Amino acid sequence: MYGHQGKILHVDLSKNKIWTQDLPEEWRKLYVGSRGINARILWDYCKDPEITWDDPRNILVYAPGAVTGTTAPASGRTSVTTIGCTTGLYLKTNTGGHWGAELKFAGYDHLIVHGAADKPSYILIENDQVEIRDAKDLWGKDIIQTDTLLKKWHGEDSKGLYIGPAGEKLVRGASIQCSLYHAAGRGGGAAVMGKKNLKAICVKGSKPVRVKDPKKFAEIAKEMRDLLKADSGAASLHQFGTAGSIAAVNELHAFPGKNWQTGYTENVYPISGQCLVEKGYLKRRVACFGCTIGCHRYSTIDSGPNAGIASGGPEYETFGALGNGPGVIDTEGVLLANELCNRLGMDTITAGGVAQWAIESYERGVLTKDDTDGLELGWGKIPELLKTIEAIALRKGKLGNLLADGLKIATKKVGQDSYKWAIMNAKGLEQSNVETRSAKAYALAFAVNPRGNDHLMTETFAEFGASPEAVAVIEKVTGDKKWAAPHFTEHRAEIVRWHEDCYEITEALGFCVFTSTAAYGVNPDNMARLYDAATGISMTEDEMMFTGRRVVTLEKAFNITRGATREHDNLPWRLMNEGAASGPLKGAMNSQEELDGMLDLYYAQHEWDLKTSWPYRKTYEKLGLKDVADYLDKMGRVP
């Protein structure tokens, strides 16, 4: 087969069974690949709402993209799809690294893990040889130790995906780590692995990827590469990483600090990508498989009391969640916290989110020294932050056990209005570090995101108009470049809608979303042409985008089976009820009224019911999802 390898690998941990299935041709046309086909698979196996995240019937689907393994720039990413434990809803989490490409070279487009093992296990894949192995010597080991052992047993060129102690202990903010420092971090996929007793998946592959028209494919890949090479956003990502934007975000008073109580921090330099470079912490600029940007970092501390600390990152989000958020304006403080999370297998965004909530709760007297096992929590206190992270990851003590279940459960346990400073929405995921009060398309995108409020199901960075390419996207979508400013509420629905589709097809093909929604070298037009050259499946730009909408609707439908309604599409209480602290948009909020206005337009664009937010039957049918409508109709959930 061209583009895809044409095989789905199934591993059933309960029955100790392994089999393969041909990739259905129809799915390549309707869902393209990776995230898209994963959504279909999750629907088919897990639509019954009685299946909860911790049920052995929940599945984990891992998939590189339709063009992963090729020279298409930055096309080596992998989607992991499951019922997430943080929200109990649909979870797609996407990772970079080199593991997904290796899975493709082993001959598989998708790996589906069913059931649960009765003892710690790992999966070993070497092309057609697939085994479920005993993981007793890996259980309890941290990420670095696990990777070292797998490489010792299966070769330095094997690629690993694994969980750390946090995932084993079913911590809701646990992260699936991928070829060491990359992460499918959000939503608690690692706890799903932990519940299945699945410690790791080690892969070695040597089957080439073929494309239908290599010459044409190479030309389009070159076009993308050249556009990215000329893109100012991509250049900055390589030079300073994702954290290179922190100074600019801070100048906009949009860099969340102290649990979203501030947006501007004096002297933010120590927690920036520029500081990593200029102060010598940055050792290497690192790329995921096939990526010509190379935004990933490898940083080390070489001298002083923290000498020897080394890890991947930190990213923008980590400098936010574990730096500005808890008030740690200290390079080495963040490097220490980042390394600890990477080692124990914790999502840095959630680790920081719950830590900030705990600090504010302690400050307010809602948590006492008794609740924190004697820790005197406070802003900018590095040792206390590190102890908190360790307590969460290992479920240690009262504090660890409270925070390990995430804000959704912790706020219910603690009560006392503590949801008011828990930065999550009704779905229950800790928010990523974006100031949605002053960026309205982000606000809408976060509210409707099926996995909770973050930037990783769609990203509307273009609304800032930070580059000519970004302005061009806004002009294309809204008809006028004047709308390239984040404070407008007008046209945000169209901007979010367009980006949803674009983001989805980007991930379905295996591209990094930075190539199409942060830099702009990859776009719906050249993606459609590339998919044609790769597979021989011809689609126009609009048809390609339509596959994106189909998947977005299917993801929405999955949540409807779990009872999600319009009420779940909201934003954290603080952001809806308290104004931004300073800056040009001082006092700005994501009020219910403002959000409702954007939601109405957004649902109307989708042809979804305004009252429930549920798609109509005709909407499903137009997208070729009649079976989905039939299922939901039986549940009484088609308006």
Partner 1 sequence: MAKVLLVDMDKCTGCKQCSLACSLTKEDLFDPKRGRIKILKKEDIALGIPLLCEQCDTFPCINSCPEGALTRNETTGIITVNEETCTECGICVEACTYHGIRLHPETGKALICDLCGGDPYCVQHCVPGALEWVDKTDDTVKRKKKLRSARMAMYHKLKKEAA
Q: Which residues bind partner 1 (CB under 8 A)?
A: 69-71, 73, 98, 105, 144, 147-148, 156-157, 179-181, 206-211, 214, 218, 222, 225, 228-229, 238, 283-294, 296, 298, 310, 312
**What gap in Å lies between CA 164 and CA 166, rounded to an integer?**
5
Among the residues of 373-439, which ranges form H helices? 382-393, 397-403, 406-414
| Phi, psi for residue 385 in degrees, rounded to 5 | -65, -45
> Rounded to whole angstroms, what are the CA distances from 401 to 413, 414, 549?
11, 12, 40
Other beta carbons within 10 Å of 204: 18
Q: How far is the CB of 159 from partner 1 (least distance, A)?
A: 8
Find out whether 91 and 84 touch, Cβ atoms under 8 Å. yes
C-beta of 23 vs 560, nearer to partner 1: 23
* Region at 290 (left for phi over 0; alpha for psi -120 to 50; beta for the rest): left
Structure tokens at 178: 């991928």
Minimal distance in Å, beta carbon 132 to partner 1? Answer: 24
Say which residues have a Cβ less than 8 Å from residue 329's Cβ, sequence separation at least 6. Answer: 265, 267, 268, 270, 271, 323, 380
Across the beta sheet with 17-22, the strand order is 17-22, 7-12, 110-114, 60-64, 78-83, 90-95
Q: Which is nearer to partner 1, 106 or 399 (CB)?
A: 106
Comparison of 211 and 441: residue with beta carbon closer to partner 1: 211
Find the shortest distance in angstroms from Cβ 285 to partner 1: 6
- Least spacing, CB of residue 586 vs partner 1, in Å: 41
Nearer to partner 1, 176 or 355 (CB): 176
| Cα dihedral 625, 84, 13, 164 sign | positive
User: Taking Cα atoms as reference points, which of 431, 562, 451, 449 lies closest to residue 55?
Assistant: 562
Closer residue to partner 1, CB minimum distance, 222 or 586: 222
Nearer to partner 1, 182 or 550 (CB): 182
Closer residue to partner 1 in complex, CB, 115/290: 290
What's the rounded Cα separation, in Å, for the pair 410 and 140? 25
211 vs 576, which CB is nearer to partner 1?
A: 211
Q: Provide the minimum distance between the beta carbon of 161 and partner 1 in the complex, in angstroms, as a whole number.
A: 12
Between 34 and 619, CB nearer to partner 1: 34
Q: Longest C-alpha distance within the chain, in Å? A: 67
Closest contact distance (angstroms) between CB of 177 and partner 1 is 11
- Collapsing DSSP to helix, strand or coil, 162 comes out as strand
Distances (CA, A) of 333 to 308, 326, 329, 388, 433: 14, 11, 8, 13, 18
- What's the closest the beta carbon of residue 267 comes to partner 1, in angstroms? 29
Q: 203 vs 423, which CB is nearer to partner 1? A: 203
Least distance (Å) between residue 148 CB and partner 1 = 7
By beta-carbon proximity to partner 1, the closer residue of 29 and 229 is: 229
Output the smallest distance, CB 147 to partner 1, in A. 7
Minimum CB distance to partner 1, residue 464 (Å): 25
d(CA 559, CA 568): 10
Q: How far is the CB of 282 from partner 1 (least distance, A)?
A: 11
Cα first-last separation, the chain:
41
Q: Report how far residue 7's alpha carbon sits from residue 106's, in angstroms, rounded to the nearest whole number.
A: 10
Q: What is the DSSP string of 235-278?
A: HHHHHH-GGGGHHHHHHTT-S-BTTTTBS--SS-GGGSHHHHHH
